[in-house]
A and B are shown apart, each in its own frame.
Chain A
């Protein structure tokens, strides 16, 4: 057995069934070893998308996504995908080939110091120098990626290490890491304080972030909020933690969130933040939150607590475990007056200004689309105006909403949707992007077709990089620069070239019927929606 066989064996032991990658000489031993296994390796068209696909896969399965690339440019191409996963705490195992270990540091062909270059975007990284270390390192990598605050782990393997003989391969049963022991259980005293604060509060509010979903605590969150009738708002990453038909759910906060959600944040007297960073886009001035508010901050990462807002009561640990402990507590409270106030705010929300009649209204479209989607469908939103509309009008019914929230990486939706579909071929997966983000990942249409991964792609075509155009409209008095995408390519021809179905919506006419018939198709396809180029988010 050689090193690359050992790596593949470790992946099998970890239950990996699918990985996404792109070859090169330095990773050839690995791709040779993979032939002898049941692990399916999907050839993407650009390494960045291997990482995004692994991210979509990880988010749907709850297991780490695996992506594999070669040394040098293959490895550096992965970085944006790794950084995107890191910003959203998505567990990834990224394996890169590396030049011969004896040549390291001598700038040979396709050598890049990838552990150094990716340092600030990984939870941890390894450069394997001894083939005997492979089993331990692989075990540790999976452990680190999936515990505590999840994230990507990079493993760089020189080609000679992949080719070296390994004797007495044994995959360890457990990890022994002296320095890494994340907290799982919340502190009992702190948890008791939640009850005390709930009993005192008049206007409590839960702000749910992506951590709730990463910890698979959606049900626990819903149970907890319903036990006490506490209203819930979410961050962008927290969308789909609650369902929209839940009377206790009051939408997304932030710059592009619902005004009633932001009003709830301002007016609450007890704010329970769960698995959220409270970053700049969610709360325009984080310090404001704590002024007259009791803040309980629950997070698995102790460094998040107090980073952006100073909490009154910090609780560090796994969110699901903390919810389970919270369920053992009880408090007498009645928040009906507060709920009534919030419902009033919600009713008073002004609808978005509809675009000109001859175009598709994206808000209406997303509403129609989410209503037509299967209950447990996966909706992948890209980045740009399309993301803001998706966040605003997507209706969570129990499925998943994926997007690149932290990094805001354009081109995320198509590869991530490919990964999500591979994770569960029975679920409907739809990628919603703009014409800008579509063109960034257009190459992956081939991956989709070649591997028979039938996702549905919605392209909002407005001929512009709309969110930047809107920003330039507001900040630079409509002096547009570098935002005009023109009218090419012709998506019907693109669809034809890739043997995909093609639907086109010019305006709101027959929207429901068209969307339903598009979704009902078994084959992969593109639906192009013609938008008002001057349409705005709000």
Chain B
């Protein structure tokens, strides 16, 4: 089972290491982790994709929630939230094969952000499955490098950091 956790944490030094340390120490999996400031600069949003059986996932939620710096922990359920991930893919491609690749990128609404004589860097934002599908399609080409950001997500509706009370 995969779960996406959204943490709102105090922007203290070492907060990320406290959280990632807890995962490694207790043997929990991190599929991906992203962090960045929120609309309120005092807080950082950390989005963690984790996996495990139901008991483990419940323990993860409780143990992470217990950390002193963690202000709020929520599960981002797929049907109540939107997730996006960004990927940069570097592909080896010469001039003669460039056009079909550009067409392919158009279909996936990805952007070509750099071209050199024999390679291209493509940027794509989307759900994890869309990105996986795109990488799959690119298998005819030689992929030189992939950089994925991991998931960022938000709950739908009007709740947000501005509603948090001190």
Contact = CB atoms under 8 A, between A and B. Distances in A.
A177 interface: yes
B71 A178 contact: yes
B44 to A, nearest CB: 12
B91 to A, nearest CB: 40
Contacts of A116: 14, 17
A120 B25 contact: yes
Contact of B166 (A127, A178, A302): A178
B2 to A, nearest CB: 20
A177 B9 CA distance: 12
A274 to B, nearest CB: 19
A172 interface: no
A301 B59 CA distance: 12
B26 to A, nearest CB: 9
A506 interface: no
A144 interface: yes
A123 B68 contact: yes
Interface string B38-75: 00000000000000000100110011011011110000
A176 B9 CA distance: 15
5 contacts: A116-B17, A119-B17, A179-B9, A302-B65, A306-B55
Contacts of A123: 68
A222 B59 CA distance: 32
A115 B14 contact: yes
A144 B21 contact: no
Interface in A174-189: 176-180
B10 interface: yes
B129 interface: no
B13 interface: yes
B13 A127 contact: yes
B58 A306 contact: yes
Interface in A446-481: none
Contacts of B68: 123-124, 144, 177, 179-180
Contacts of A124: 68
Contact of A303 (B10, B14, B62, B71): B62
Contacts of A219: none
A375 interface: no
B55 A301 contact: no
Contacts of A144: 68
Interface in B1-40: 9-10, 13-14, 17-18, 21, 25
Contacts of A302: 62, 65-66
Given A119-B18, A306-B55, A179 B69 contact: yes
A192 interface: no
Interface string A111-155: 000011001100110010000000000000000100000000000
- The 8 A-B pairs at the shortest CB distance, nearest first, are namely A303-B62, A179-B71, A124-B68, A180-B68, A120-B25, A303-B63, A303-B66, A119-B21
Nearest to B25: A120
B128 to A, nearest CB: 29
Given A123-B68, A303-B66, A306-B59, A179 B13 contact: no
A127 B66 CA distance: 20
B25 to A, nearest CB: 5
A306 B55 CA distance: 8
Task: Give the dominant DSSP class at B's interface.
Answer: helix
A176 B126 CA distance: 40
A170 interface: no
Given A178-B166, A303-B59, 15 more contacts: A115-B14, A116-B14, A120-B21, A120-B25, A127-B13, A178-B10, A179-B9, A179-B70, A303-B65, A303-B66, A305-B62, A306-B55, A307-B59, A307-B62, A310-B55
A180 B65 CA distance: 10
Interface in A296-321: 301-303, 305-307, 310
A301 B9 contact: no
Nearest to B42: A178
B127 to A, nearest CB: 31
Interface string A158-199: 000000000000000000111110000000000000000000
Contacts of B14: 115-116, 127
B66 A301 contact: yes
A136 to B, nearest CB: 13
A180 B68 CA distance: 6
Nearest to A115: B14
A180 B55 CA distance: 24
B120 to A, nearest CB: 40
Contacts of B13: 127
A157 to B, nearest CB: 15
Contacts of B17: 116, 119
Contacts of B21: 119-120
Nearest to A153: B68
Residue with the greatest number of chain B CB neighbours at <10 A, chosen from A115, A178, A301: A178
Interface string A217-231: 000000000000000
Contacts of A119: 17-18, 21
Nearest to B43: A178
Contacts of B58: 306
A173 B62 CA distance: 30
Interface string A47-72: 00000000000000000000000000
A178 B166 CA distance: 6
Interface in B139-166: 166
B6 to A, nearest CB: 15
Contacts of A115: 14
Nearest to A124: B68
A301 B21 CA distance: 20
A239 to B, nearest CB: 27
A397 to B, nearest CB: 36
A144 B62 CA distance: 18
Contacts of A301: 66
A127 B166 CA distance: 24
Interface string A260-303: 00000000000000000000000000000000000000000111
A151 to B, nearest CB: 11
Nearest to A305: B62
A310 B166 CA distance: 34
